[in-house]
């Protein structure tokens, strides 16, 4: 499968970020990775990003805060949050704010694939839905 949709990954853990980057590429997507929310926000890829995969707990700005900031700025990029420390309250708040999926580390490849497909369906223009 080849998909030109850009998946942007934001995670401060370099080893996990590189591993996830490789996995998403193997699933057939175009991928860019960032070490922080600030790096992602400062990039020229915001408008090209079809789906954001962000770590919940990062220094500076959490994945939840990043998603909230994007929505407030009118850039509701379909978002998947990933965490090593699942928290029901954070998960519930994230879902209420429109997060597509909430994944626990280590990430299950099949579940990630389903989440990416769901996120990309949300970002498709209505004329492309068949």
Residue 1 pLDDT class (50, 70, 90 cuts): very low
Nearest by Cα to 97 from 120, 121, 63: 63
pLDDT above 90: percentage of residues in the chain: 75
Helix (H/G/I), strand (E/B), else coil: 104: strand
Q: What does the pLDDT read at residue 127?
A: 35
Residue 123 pLDDT class (50, 70, 90 cuts): low
- pLDDT(122) > 90: no
- pLDDT(128) > 50: no
Interval 106-114 mean pLDDT: 94
- pLDDT(96) > 80: yes
CA distance 74 to 86: 27
Q: What's the burial of 80, exposed, middle or buried (CB within 10 Å: 0-12/13-18/19+)?
A: buried
CA distance 91 to 104: 11
């Amino acid at each position: 499968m080849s998909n030109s949709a850009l998946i942007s990954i934001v995670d401060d853990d370099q080893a996990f970020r590189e591993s996830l980057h490789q996995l998403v590429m193997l699933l057939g997507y175009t991928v860019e990775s960032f070490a922080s929310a600030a790096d992602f926000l400062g990039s020229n890829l915001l408008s090209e990003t079809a789906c954001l995969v962000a770590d919940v707990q990062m220094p500076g700005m959490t994945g939840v805060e990043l998603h909230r900031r994007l929505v407030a700025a009118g850039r509701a990029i379909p978002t998947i949050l990933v965490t090593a420390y699942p928290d029901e309250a954070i998960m519930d708040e994230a879902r209420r704010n429109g997060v597509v999926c909430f994944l626990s580390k280590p990430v299950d490849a099949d579940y990630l694939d389903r989440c990416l497909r769901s996120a990309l369906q949300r970002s498709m223009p209505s004329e492309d839905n068949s």
